[in-house]
Every structure is written in C-alpha cells, then in structure tokens.
Chain A
Amino acid sequence: MDTNVILLLLLVPLIGSLVNIFFGKKLGNGSGIIATIAVLISFIVTVIAFVQVNSTKVAIQGDLFEWIAVDRFTISFGFLLDQLSLLWLLFVTGIGTLIHLYSTSYMKGDENYAKFFGYLNLFIFFMIVLVAGSNLLITFIGWEGVGLCSYLLIGFWHKNQDYNDAAKKAFIMNRIGDLGFLIGVFILAFLFQSLDYMTIKEALATGTNHQINTWIGFAALAIFIGAVGKSAQIPLYTWLPDAMAGPTPVSALIHAATMVTAGIFLITRLNFVFDLAPLVQNTIAIVGAFTSLFAASIGLVQNDIKKVLAYSTVSQLGLMFMAIGFGAYEIAVFHVITHAFFKACLFLGSGSVIHAMGGEQDMRRMGGLDKYMKVTYITFLIATAAISGFPFLSGFFSKDEILMVAFENNKFLYIVGSIASIMTAFYMFRLVFLTFKKGFRGSQEQKNHLHESPLSMTLPLIILAFFSIVGGAINLPGSNWLNHYLQPIIVKSTGKAHELGTEAYILMALATAGFLIGLGWAFYKYIKNSEVPQEDEKITGFHKVLYNKYYIDEIYMVIFVKPIYVIATFFRDFVEVALSGTVLGLGKIADELSLQGKKAQNGNIGLYLFAFVFGICILFYYLFIAR
C-alpha cells in the first residue's frame, strides 16, 4: 500500500509531463487541463497520506528497488513520507495545482502552451522526488531536476537573448551550490557508509566524538553552500531576481513558493547534522540576517513589479535562514508555509496585473488599477498586508516568531531582521500604492486594454489570499500545532513553544509598530505626496547604488567572470592550438604514411603473389631454419 501511494504520487506528474511534452501539440487546450489534473491527483494523494500519518504518527516508507550496491555501501531508491516531507508536499502540490489552474488562462495563446505545462509537471515531479526522497542521493536527483526545470522555464521564451542569459545565470549559480551539496554528500557517505536520513540520524543519536564532529561541521558547511545556491542567499542570490524573466506563474511556483525553499527543507531534514555544528549555525544566522537586510534595501527602489517581489523573496528567505541558524527549524518551516501562500498570491496577482497591462512590468507606467481589477487588488492587498506583518494575518505570526527567536539569541541580528521587516512593509506598500492607487500613468492603448482576469486566474488568487489570512493558525502562539507536529523530525529544538508572556506581547507590539512605520512611510511618500519614482537617468547618489543593486552583478562580473574569460581566451588561443596541433600532426603523419603505403597496393596480382612466396620463405626460415 505504501509503495503504491508513493508510486501514484510520483508517477502522475511524470506521466502528465511526458504526455504534454510528446503529445502536447495535438492536445491543444487539453494539455493544461491534463497537467492540472495530474497535480491535483498528487495533491489528493498527499492529503490522504497526510491524514494517515497525522493520525498514526508513523511515516510512510517504501523502497522501490536497490539502486547502488558497492560492498557494504548500498543506496536504495527509496522514499519517505514523514511529517516534514508531507508538509512540504502539501503546499508544493496544493499551490502547484492552483498555479497550474492559473496558468491555463495566463499562458493561453502561447505557441508552446503544452511544453510549458510539460515543464511545470516535470518540475512538480522533481520537487516531489526532492522532498520525498529517503536518502540524500534521491534528494539530489530532485535537487538537480528542479534546477533543470527552473532553467527550462526561466528561458521559456527563448527567443529573447536576455532571458536565455538569465536562465544560464540561474543554472550556473546553482551549480556552484550543487557542488557544495555534493561535497557534503560525499563527506556524510564517508562518515556513515550510508546516505539514508534515518540511518544517519540513528548513528548520530548514539553519540559522536570530537573528530567526527569536525567532519560533520565541514559536511554541514558544504550542504549549507548548496542551500545558499538553491535558496538564493548571499553571495549566490543574484540569479533569483534575474529568474523573473520566466513567465509569471513560474516565478510564483518555482522562484517564490517551492523550489527556493528546498535549501530550508534540506537543512531542516538534516537538522541533527546541523545541531552538531554550532559554528555553521551561527554562519547561517548571520548570512540569513544580512541577506534579508541587503535584499530588502535593494527592493526599496526597484521599479519592476516582479523584481520587487523577487527581492522580497530573497529577503524573506533570509529571515528563514536566520531562524534556522538559531536552531528554530519549526519556525523556519512555519514561515516557509505562510510565505508560500502570500508570495504565490503576490506573484499571481502581479501576473494578473501584467496580463491586464499587456506585458508591461514597470510600476511607473501603472497606477489606479484598483478601479479596473477589484479582485486582484483586494487579494493583492491582503497578501501585502500578510507579508508586511499586519497583525493577525499569517505573516505576522511567522515573522514575529522568527524575530522572537532572534531576540532571545542575538539582539543585533534581531535589529537587522526588524529593519528588514520595516523595509519590507515599506516597499510592499509602495508596490501596492504605485500599482493600484492614484491615476493611470500608462498609454491610452493600455488603458483601453485594462480588464479583470478570468475566473481561472482569480480563483487561485482568492484561495491563496484566504490562506494568507488564516495560514498563521497552524502555529498560533499558545497552541503551536506545527511544533508538536514536527516533533518527530526535529531532534533538538530551540524554537520551543513560546509562552504568551509580557515579552512576547512587547515584541508583537514592536513588530506591529515596525509595520506601521513602513506603511506610514510608504503612505506619506506615494499617497500623500503622490510621488512617482524617477526615470532611470535622473537617479543619483545612494539611491542609484540601490537601484543598481549595489552593483553586485558588475562586481561579480569583474571579480569572477572577467578573469575566467581571460583564462578561457588564453586556453583557446594557445593551449587549444598547441593541443590540436599535436593531435592533428599525429594524424597527418599517419595519413602521410598510409598514403605512401597505399602505393604498394597497386592491384597487381603478380606482385601480390611474389609477396606471398617471399612471405612463405621468411616464415619457413624463421620456423624451421633459424631456430
């Protein structure tokens, strides 16, 4: 039964993907429906499995076959549906279903409509593999697979060279992280002769010594680098904003809600490893906090509606990493879930806006859209409020928990996180105000085109907005359902259930105050003073630095890309010439020799016969006389 559940879960999206990729052209609009249904089936299976696991408290486990067997080192192709992976699967497939539904309208009329859904389904498949794998290698398959799908989907409109470059950038950046992941996998395999999560967990539970702890530290660091690549943290975050080149549903699904949280999933999965490496944990917390602040500050001045959301994603992921760094894995997971809801809602909302604007993404050309797009506006507003930490919405609770943990562990990082939160509130409301309020600033043609999106696009928005409101209920301070739920997974939790004491209330109040500051600032600037961001050329000073993302891309260009180009040019111009000269020279010699040898073969049978006879003579001589 267990194996059947796993197979059903895995194969349905895969089959959907294959059908769409190979037969999509013939299906027409049906391909979108097939893809949506495939993910929906996965979602239903997940829900059933979730209900079962939640009541029995026993993880569903199944080995499909033994994959690699070398001496005592064996890796089975096995899957594990425990509390953590089911939680992830729930929102991967759930939000995935909504986004598929949304895409059926959004992508309508695209020439590669079926291929798009094929890739989306493939992504869901790999994400399930990643999340449900019972050992690190299976997870790695999924990890690489989602990277591939991300590449394919970012570069989906491959006729635009910029988009291709963005896709390549995402892929290469991820490769750097993947290398770290692989090194971590190697170290763990070396230490434990196994990559199975459960085996490693049991091995560590029996105790370790100092030397092993050192190696585990390295492994944790390497895996963290992998997570940094996939989850877009400093210094490997630059691919995520560029990844917005893909179609908006892709941004919502992959680059906001699911794939980028894979790093957090992996670290949570291996929490027992990271618990033994406090140094790495501190690094994670610091990297997370600063990524959060850094990305938020860039987000302040961006004018592209999707870029703002991208930087906000990076920022929120930073907060999650901060929570992980403090060992509060449940809280990070909590924020992942709430973030998945409101960020997906935001991206889909922005997609709806872009759809209405006929492809325009610059906020300076928008404004006043609330009159035309009621549903989009309201859902967008709810999600914005949730991400900014409006009291009693989902984001408020999860972010508050993170800040509370930070406050308990490290006051400085608490301040960093709080500033990032204030900035988040500001730029999110800046986004809302610029997009939906005041008068329309676009062209007349665009104005006539404005319309509310169809039901298949607004329905996901409404559902996601609803969950943005109530999503916090899974881990309300005081009840802490999620903490209890995840207890079997997390060995040593520091993010223990927070009592509703004075300190908690003060921190909540402070967070609310921070939210109000951000909101007020944005309101003052863009509603009261009706400011509109300046055109690109007029931006000066620090603003310009921020607008150009601290010139990080340019710095990377100079530090990493240029030297590599120089080396590559050197190799191409000198080493390759030398090598190919040698190789070709050898070939020339053989060629020349054979040309000469060919002359002996002149087709004269008489000559051949002479050769026979003399050959026989030589043979006779050596065999009978010379001996």
Chain B
Amino acid sequence: MENVIEIIGIEKYIYLSIILFCIGVLGILYRRNAIVMFMCIEIMLNSANMLLVAFSTFHQDAEGQVFVFFTMAVAAAEVAVGLAILVTIYRNIGSIDIDKLKNLKG
C-alpha cells in the first residue's frame, strides 16, 4: 500500500486536526453539561492523536504511534476517574450542570 502522505500532503492533516481541536474548544465553552464537555475533551485529544499518527507516517517512525497508545491510556484513565467524580457530584447535587457548581467561589 502506498504512502498516503505522498498523495494528500501533511498540511491537510494539520488543518484537519486544528479544526477538530477548535470544535472541541467550542464545545467546552458552548455547553453546560459536564458529560458533553468530557466528550469535547476527547475530541481535542483525538485531534492531537491524529496529528501524531500523521507525522509518524510522515517521518516513517513508529514512536509517534507509541505515544498515541499512551495518550489513549491516559484518556481512558481520565474518563474513568472523571466519570466517577461526575457520578458523585450528581449524587450530591442532583445535577451535572457546571453553572450550578459554584463551590470554587473565593
């Protein structure tokens, strides 16, 4: 199978991942539901992952993909703990609307 980068070009992947990342940012700012915000974080992580894979192919080096594995592991851990926290918050407050979480008020 031939190398896609030769055909498509790395810069298209860069643009794609930038836009994907920005969509994640938009979601974080746009929504109030904590779980949806979590999903947006996943989107941002994935945009980074995709760039890593693209450059891994570009440089023909496996290390980029290894880092994607690690990122996935970290994301999984993060989601597990984060969702546990959300469940606890929901149990205590009855909502996961972040505008109702004002305990950080100084």
Complex Cα distance, B105 from A598, in Å, reads 9
Which B residues are CB-close (under 8 A) to A574? Answer: none
How far in angstroms is the closest Cβ of chain A from B5? 24
A603 and B29 contact, CB distance less than 8 A:
no
- A606: chain B residues at CB < 8 Å are 29, 32, 98-99
Q: Are B105 and A601 in contact (CB under 8 A)?
A: yes
Is the beta-carbon distance between B29 and A610 smaller than 8 angstroms?
A: yes
Interface pairs A-B: 3 shortest CB-CB: A603-B105, A601-B106, A603-B102
Whether B25 is near chain A, meaning CB under 8 Å from some CB there, is: yes
The residue on B at minimum CB distance from A613 is B25
| Complex contact A603–B103 (CB within 8 A) | yes
Report B-chain residues with C-beta under 8 Å of the C-beta of A605: 98-99, 101, 104
Closest Cβ of chain A to B101, distance in Å, is 6
Q: In the assembled complex, which residues on chain B have CB atoms less than 8 Å from the CB atom of A604?
A: 99, 102
A residues sitting closer than 8 Å to B (CB atoms) are 598, 601-606, 608-610, 613
Known: A603-B101, A604-B99. A609 touches B106 (CB 8 A): no
A64 to chain B, nearest CB (A): 57
Are B102 and A609 within 8 A (Cβ)?
no
Question: Inside 8 A of B25's CB, which chain A residues have their CB?
Answer: 613
Cβ of B28 < 8 Å from any Cβ of A?
A: yes
Q: Are the C-beta atoms of A598 and B29 separated by less than 8 Å?
A: no
What are the residues of chain A within 8 A of B104 when measuring CB–CB?
A: 601, 603, 605, 608
CA distance A602 to B101 in the complex (A): 10
Q: How far is the CB of A596 from chain B (nearest CB, A)?
A: 12
Shortest CB distance A575–B (Å): 38
Given contacts A602-B105, A610-B29, A613-B28, 13 further A-B contacts (CB under 8 A): A598-B106, A601-B104, A601-B105, A602-B102, A603-B102, A603-B105, A605-B99, A605-B101, A606-B29, A606-B32, A606-B99, A613-B25, A613-B29
Most chain A CB atoms below 10 A, which of B32, B102, B103, B106: B106
| Complex-state Cα separation, A605 to B99, whole angstroms | 7
CB distance from B95 to the nearest CB of A (A): 13
Q: How far is the CA of A300 from the CA of B99 in the complex (A)?
A: 93
Alpha-carbon distance A603/B98, docked complex (angstroms):
10
Q: In the assembly, what is the distance between CA of A613 and CA of B102, in Å?
A: 20
As a 0/1 sequence over residues 24 to 37 of chain B, the CB contacts with chain A under 8 angstroms (1 = contact) are 01001100100000
CB nearest to A610 among chain B residues: B29
B102 contacts which chain A residues (CB < 8 A)?
A: 602-604
The residue on B at minimum CB distance from A608 is B104
Q: How many residue pairs, one in A and one in B, have C-beta atoms under 8 Å apart?
A: 30
* Shortest Cβ distance from B34 into A: residue: A605
B99 contacts A609, C-beta separation under 8 Å:
no
B75 to chain A, nearest CB (A): 19
Indicate with 1 or 0, residue by residue over B5-29, a CB within 8 angstroms of chain A CB atoms: 0000000000000000000010011
**Chain A proximity of B56: nearest CB distance (Å):** 23
A residues less than 8 Å from B105 (CB atoms): 601-603
| Distance of A238 from chain B, by nearest CB (Å) | 61
- Please state if B106 and A603 are interface contacts (CB–CB under 8 Å): yes
Interface residues of B in 78-106 (CB under 8 A from A): 98-99, 101-106
Q: Contact: B101 with A609, CB < 8 Å?
A: no
25 contacts between A and B (CB under 8 A): A598-B106, A601-B104, A601-B105, A601-B106, A602-B102, A602-B106, A603-B102, A603-B103, A603-B104, A603-B105, A603-B106, A604-B99, A604-B102, A605-B99, A605-B101, A605-B104, A606-B32, A606-B98, A608-B104, A609-B28, A609-B29, A610-B29, A613-B25, A613-B28, A613-B29
Question: Which residues on the B side are within 8 Å of A598 (C-beta)?
Answer: 106
Which of A602, A604, A608, A610 is the most central at the interface, judged by chain B CB atoms within 10 Å of its CB?
Answer: A604
Please name the residue on chain B nearest to A600 by beta carbon. Answer: B106
A323 CB, min distance to chain B CBs, angstroms: 77
Please, how many angstroms separate the alpha-carbon atoms of A608 and B102 in the complex?
Answer: 11
User: Which residues from chain A contact B28 at a C-beta distance below 8 Å?
Assistant: 609, 613
Bound complex: CA A603 to CA B32 (Å): 14
In this complex, the member of A602, A603, A605, A609 whose beta carbon has the largest number of chain B beta carbons within 10 angstroms is A605
- CB-CB < 8 A to B98: which residues of A? 605-606
Give the CA-CA distance A605 to B101 in the complex, in Å. Answer: 7
What distance in Å separates the Cβ of A14 from its nearest Cβ neighbour in chain B?
A: 55
Report how far A26 CA is from B10 CA in the complex, Å: 89
Minimal Cβ-Cβ distance residue in A for B98: A605
- State the CA gap A610–B29 with chains docked (Å): 7
List, in ascending order, chain B residues with CB within 8 A of A601's CB: 104-106
**When chains A and B are docked, how far (Å) is the Cα of A604 from the Cα of B103?**
9
Q: Nearest-CB distance from B43 to chain A (Å)?
A: 15
Best-surrounded residue of A598, A601, A603, A613 (most CB of chain B within 10 A): A603
Min distance, Cβ A591 to any Cβ of chain B, angstroms: 14
- Closest chain-B Cβ to A33's Cβ sits at a distance in Å of 65
Smallest CB separation, A520 vs chain B (Å)? 92
- Bound together, the chains give a CA A605 to CA B28 distance in angstroms of 11
Chain A residues near B32: list those with CB within 8 A.
606
Bound together, the chains give a CA A606 to CA B105 distance in angstroms of 13
Q: In the assembly, what is the distance between CA of A613 and CA of B21, in Å?
A: 12
Write the chain A residue with the least CB distance to B28. Answer: A609
Chain B residue at minimum C-beta to C-beta distance from A605: B98
Q: Please name all residues of chain B whose beta carbon is closer than 8 Å to the beta carbon of A609 when the two chains form the complex.
A: 28-29
The residue on B at minimum CB distance from A599 is B106
Q: Least Cβ distance of A465 to chain B in Å? A: 81
**Distance in Å from the Cβ of A329 to the closest Cβ of chain B?**
75
The docked-state distance in angstroms from the alpha carbon of A613 to that of B105 is 20
CA distance A602 to B106 in the complex (A): 6
Min CB distance B38 to A, Å, is 13
Name the distance in Å between B63's Cβ and chain A's nearest Cβ: 25
**Distance of B85 from chain A, by nearest CB (Å):** 13
Residue on A nearest B101 in the bound complex, by CB: A605
Give A604 to B101 CA distance when docked, in angstroms.
Answer: 7
Nearest-neighbour CB distance to chain A for B36, whole angstroms, equals: 13
CA distance A604 to B104 in the complex (A): 7
CB distance from B96 to the nearest CB of A (A): 11
Nearest-neighbour CB distance to chain A for B67, whole angstroms, equals 21
Q: In the bound complex, how far is the Cα of B104 from the Cα of A603, in angstroms?
A: 4
Give the distance in Å from the alpha carbon of A610 to the alpha carbon of B99 in the complex: 13
Task: Write the chain B residue with the least CB distance to A603.
Answer: B105
Cα of A608 to Cα of B101 in the assembled complex, Å: 12
Task: Please indicate the chain B residues that have their CB under 8 angstroms from the CB of A602 in the complex.
Answer: 102, 105-106
Complex Cα–Cα for A598 and B102 (A): 14
Q: Once the chains are docked, how many angstroms separate the CA of A604 from the CA of B105? A: 7
Specify which chain B residues have a CB less than 8 angstroms from the CB of A613 in the assembled complex.
Answer: 25, 28-29
A350: min CB distance to chain B, Å: 72
Name the residue of chain B whose CB is nearest to the CB of A616: B25
By a CB distance below 8 angstroms, the chain B residues around A610 are: 29
Q: A610 CA to B98 CA in the complex, in Å?
A: 13
CA–CA, A568 and B105, complex, Å: 48
